[in-house]
Amino acid sequence: MTKANAFNDCIPIDEGDLIRVKRMLFSHWAVYAGNGSVIHITGKDDVPSERNSTAEDIEAQLKAYIKKEKFEKMLAADTFAVANSQYDNRKLLGFNFKPLRKSKILERLNRFLGKIYPYSLFYLNCEHFSTFARYGTAISDQVSIESLWKVYSGGILPERDVTKGA
């Protein structure tokens, strides 16, 4: 991972690259759109996160807003990595994760820009959106059974072999 301010120090990022930003429990994902901008799933800007939120606020938090923002705004003080290697050329269930052409990735991103979808940690999160734009199929390693086991156990429980169903 690279410190956020290193973006200005010529880290090579190309249009269509997957960007992974380290957050507390999960990473946030986006796709670099060129000219210092990313397109990603985010929440509504004006929704409070306090416990006394209204029902309308809570409903807004359950929606995925597709936005184009300046890279620095998305990063804040977090660290990031160009994360293409996590998926590029992976083979999974007969699907080869080969990146689409840059023009196709950008066309796909722009088609979704400004749209709102129901948010789902398991079926439509920022990583699903980013991998769908780059490869044509949505996947999220961080919400796999193995990853969730590690997060929810807090590192206290031993590694679990999910292939044995135990």
Give the residue from 30, 43, 62, 64 showing the smallest Cα distance to 133: 30
What is the spatial distance between Cα 60 and Cα 118, in angstroms, rounded to a whole number? 9
| Whether residue 128 lies in the annotated active site | no
Residues 6+ apart with CB under 8 A from 58: none
What is the spatial distance between Cα 65 and Cα 70, in angstroms, rounded to a whole number? 15
Would you state the structure tokens that stand for residue 141, as one six-digit string?
């390693």
Q: Which of 18, 27, 28, 31 is catalytic?
A: 28
Q: Which of 18, 31, 40, 139 is catalytic?
A: 40
Following DSSP, what letter does each residue of 123-137 receive, concatenated? TBSHHHHHHHHHHSS
Q: Which of 60, 74, 83, 126 is catalytic?
A: 126
Phi, psi of 157 (to 5 degrees): -80, 150
Give the residue from 26, 13, 24, 19 showing the smallest Cα distance to 1: 19
* Run of H or E residues at 22: strand 18-22
Catalytic sites, residue numbers: 28, 40, 126
